[in-house]
């Protein structure tokens, strides 16, 4: 009988040991994985290098090339783009002209404007240490691996510019690991291919934007600059659209939600000084020898998972057909993109007519 009791006790002890071991194994399975270690550093990537952009026989105003940038878009805190302008053989083009850099969205087969700038009158921009700085983090989903870039300068001389474009990628843990971008408006090919101002036109300024339900933050990124010297002039003698100060609006669901005020930027304080032209006089929201401002607007979180009507509404003004420069027309070169962000993989918003 004692032998039977001893065997029963031994069996219970073994069972308890096995149960404890099983618990330990279960605990191991439930342990939180060790977070990925993220190294915070800034890495420079060179793209266009003293690329000669000019106008004339055998010359190009637009250059497209493929470059290898950061291998992944994950753990990217920010991406800065720097635009450097040198004078070919010491002789820069005399005029302040429209210019931009675009990246190709290979899936959509479209070119997206990531930065716009205006060249200085007749000098380089070496007064700015690294060149014109533009934050392009919104396009990080497209700025990794093999990337196609397009550089354009609307110059009309054989001298033109030598263009260098560098990127600085700073790693870290961003607020949102994933993002996706879609075009809303892209009237930005040239200064005069923008939206005609003060006259009837056929440009489509209304869209429907369907925002993924998983979007934790949704922003609109807009760049706008005015061109032309159309009349009637404002009471202070300023013609449109380069010189006349205006406030344009983004309407969401027919409600004026964001104002874009094209007011003076203080051109005379530009560090790119002593330009060979009329560089100190304030334009409407831009200056010669400077990057054109990026206007970022964050949508209310309640829009996630819904379709929102969008309209870009230019302030009312009626052109009378005259001008102060001999060049007819008034235009707003305008690009607008919708960027959705999340800490899980996310598809772009859907933009429709």
90-141 pLDDT, tens digit per residue, is 789 999 999 999 999 999 999 999 999 999 999 999 999 999 999 999 999 9
Give the HSE-up count for residue 225: Cα atoms under 13 Å, Cβ half-sphere. 26
pLDDT at 37: 73
Q: Is 242 a catalytic residue?
A: yes
pLDDT of residue 23: 44
> 64 an active-site residue?
no
Which CATH number is 330's domain given? 2.60.120.230
| pLDDT given at position 130 | 97
Catalytic residue among 96, 113, 124, 138: 96
Model confidence over 292-314: pLDDT tens digits? 999 999 999 999 999 999 999 99
d(CA 339, CA 292): 19
Sorting pLDDT into bands at 50, 70 and 90, what band is 162?
A: very high
Q: What is the pLDDT of residue 9?
A: 38
In a domain, 235, yes or no: yes
| Co-location of 55 and 103 in the same domain | yes
What's the pLDDT score for residue 14? 40
Last residue of a domain, one of 174, 199, 224: 174
Number of domains in the chain: 2
Q: Is the pLDDT of residue 17 over 50?
A: no
Residues 203, 352, single domain; the answer is yes
Q: Tell me which residue has tokens 């993002």.
A: 179
Would you say 222 and 298 are in contact if contact means Cβ atoms under 8 Å apart? Answer: no
Q: Is residue 1 part of a domain?
A: no
In a domain, 4, yes or no: no
**Is 311 labeled as catalytic in the residue annotation?**
no
Same domain, 156 and 180: no
Phi-psi region of 250 (alpha: psi -120 to 50; beta: other; left: phi over 0): beta
| Whether residue 239 is found in the same domain as residue 95 | no
Q: Two tokens at 175?
A: 């607020």
Residues 137 and 240 in one domain: no
- Same-domain check for residues 253 and 160: no
Residue 163 and residue 49 share a domain:
yes
Which pLDDT score is estimated for 19? 47
Mapping DSSP onto H, E and C, the string for the chain reads CHHHHHHHHHHHHHHHHHHHHHHHHHHHHHCCCCCCCCCCCEEEEECCCCEEECCCCCCCCEEEEEEECCCCCCCEEEEEEEEEEECHHHCCCCCCCEEEEEEEECCCCEEEEEEEEECCCCCCCCCCCCCEEEECHHHCCCCCCEEEEEEEECCCCCCCEEEEEEEEEEECCCCCCEEEEEEEEEECCCHHHCEECCCCCCCCCEEEEECCCCCCEEEEEEEEEEEEEECCCCCCCCCEECCCCEEEEEEECCEEEEEEEECCCCHHHCCCCCCCCCCCCCCCCCCCCEECCCEEEECCHHHCCCEEEEEEECCCCCCCCCECCCCCCEEEEEEEEEEEEECCCCCCCEEEC
Is residue 116 a part of any domain in this protein? yes
Q: Is the pLDDT of residue 191 over 50?
A: yes
Query: Does residue 155 share a domain with residue 70?
Result: yes
Q: Percentage of residues in the chain with pLDDT exceeding 90?
A: 87
Q: Are 121 and 289 in contact (CB under 8 A)?
A: yes
* pLDDT digits 0-9 by tens, 213-223: 999 999 999 99
pLDDT at 1 over 50: no
Q: At 12, phi and psi to the nearest 5?
A: -65, -40
How much is the pLDDT for 39? 82
Among 141, 174, 207, where does a domain finish? 174
More confident residue, 188 or 13: 188
In a domain? residue 13: no
Catalytic residue among 113, 138, 154, 188: 154
Last residue of a domain, one of 136, 159, 174: 174
Mean pLDDT across the chain: 92
352, part of any domain = yes
| Residue of 138, 159, 188, 242 marked active site | 242
Residue-wise pLDDT for 252-293, tens only, equals 999 999 999 999 999 999 999 999 999 999 999 999 999 999
Q: Is residue 16 part of a domain?
A: no
- Considering the domain architecture, whether residues 85 and 164 belong to the same structural domain is answered as yes
Question: What is the spatial distance between Cα 260 and Cα 278, in angstroms, rounded to a whole number?
Answer: 25
Question: Which residue range(s) make up the domain with 272?
Answer: 176-353
**For residue 336, is pLDDT > 90?**
yes
Do residues 59 and 202 both lie within one domain?
no
Residues 92 and 122 sit within 8 Å (Cβ to Cβ): yes
**Residues 339 and 196 grouped into a single domain:** yes
| 93 and 193 assigned to the same domain | no
pLDDT for the residue numbered 31: 55
Q: What percent of the chain has pLDDT over 70?
A: 90
Lateral strand order in the sheet of 255-262: 255-262, 246-252, 307-313, 206-210, 350-352
Q: What is the pLDDT averaged over residues 64-91?
A: 95
Note the residue count of the chain: 353
Assigned domain for 18 exists:
no
Tens digits of per-residue pLDDT, 32-62? Answer: 554 567 789 999 999 999 999 999 999 999 9
């Amino acid at each position: 009988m004692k032998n039977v009791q001893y065997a029963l006790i031994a069996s219970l002890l073994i069972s308890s040991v096995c149960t404890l071991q099983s618990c330990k194994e279960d605990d191991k399975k439930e342990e939180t994985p060790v977070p990925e270690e993220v190294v915070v550093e800034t890495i420079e990537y060179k793209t266009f290098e003293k690329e000669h952009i000019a106008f004339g026989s055998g010359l190009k105003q637009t250059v497209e090339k493929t470059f290898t940038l950061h291998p992944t878009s994950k753990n990217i805190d920010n991406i800065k783009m720097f635009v450097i302008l040198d004078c070919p053989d010491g002789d820069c083009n005399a005029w302040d002209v429209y210019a931009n850099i675009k990246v190709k969205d290979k899936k959509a087969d479209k070119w997206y404007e990531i930065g716009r700038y205006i060249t200085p009158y007749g000098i380089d921009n070496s007064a700015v240490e690294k060149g014109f700085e533009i934050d392009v983090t919104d396009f990080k989903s497209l700025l990794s691996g093999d990337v196609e870039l397009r550089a354009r300068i609307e110059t009309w001389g054989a001298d033109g510019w030598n263009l260098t474009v560098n990127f600085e990628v700073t790693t870290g843990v961003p607020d949102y690991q994933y993002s996706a971008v879609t075009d809303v408006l892209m009237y930005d090919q040239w200064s005069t291919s923008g939206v005609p101002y003060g006259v009837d036109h056929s440009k489509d300024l209304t869209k429907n934007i369907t925002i993924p339900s998983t979007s934790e933050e949704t922003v609109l990124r807009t760049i706008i600059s005015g061109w032309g010297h159309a009349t009637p002039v404002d009471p202070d003698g300023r013609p449109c659209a380069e010189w006349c100060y205006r406030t344009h609006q983004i309407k969401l669901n027919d409600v004026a939600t964001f104002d874009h005020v094209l007011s003076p930027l203080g051109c005379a304080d530009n560090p790119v000084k002593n330009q060979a032209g009329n560089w100190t006089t304030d334009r409407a929201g831009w200056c010669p020898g400077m990057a054109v401002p990026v206007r970022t607007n964050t949508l209310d979180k309640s829009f996630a998972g819904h379709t929102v009507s969008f309209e870009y509404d230019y302030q009312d003004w009626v052109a009378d057909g005259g001008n102060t420069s001999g060049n007819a027309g008034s235009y707003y070169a305008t690009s607008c993109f919708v960027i959705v962000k999340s800490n899980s993989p996310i598809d772009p918003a859907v933009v429709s007519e």
